[in-house]
Amino acid sequence: MKTVPAALVNCGTLVMGVRIARRDGTILGWTQHDRDATVTVVLDGGNIDVDLLANPGFNIQSLVSTAGLGVDNTENRVIAGDDMTRGDIYARLWDGADVYFFRYS
């Protein structure tokens, strides 16, 4: 079970966001929220502003986090439209991309 940080208690709606950074430097972000957002997240020891596009096709099915040596898993779906094309996938542009899931309010 995850502990919600004290700063997020009684803050309103928590939504999920995802930031994907490809090896070629392309960075994309999506949110489950109904409007675009820019949020600041702590990543690699520093604060980074992340632009998130509202995407009703972005859906976290289940997010499983384990303690110890267990493997964390998630099932998600992103309907990315023009941002993620079949050609890019076949060209392997998404291989090795860093994916960062987070909650925000």
CA atoms within 13 A on the CB side of 76: 23
Report pLDDT for 90. Answer: 93
Report pLDDT for 92. Answer: 93
Q: Is 33 within the bounds of a domain?
A: yes
Closest by CA to 27, choosing from 44, 52, 56, 59, is 52
Predicted TM-score of the model (pTM) = 0.68
Number of structural domains found in the chain: 1
Q: Is 5 within the bounds of a domain?
A: no
- The token pair that represents 4 in the structure block: 């919600």
Domain interval for residue 30: 14-104
Q: Is 1 within the bounds of a domain?
A: no
Q: What would the pLDDT profile of 66-102 be if each residue is shown by its tens digit?
A: 666 665 666 666 665 677 788 888 999 989 999 888 8
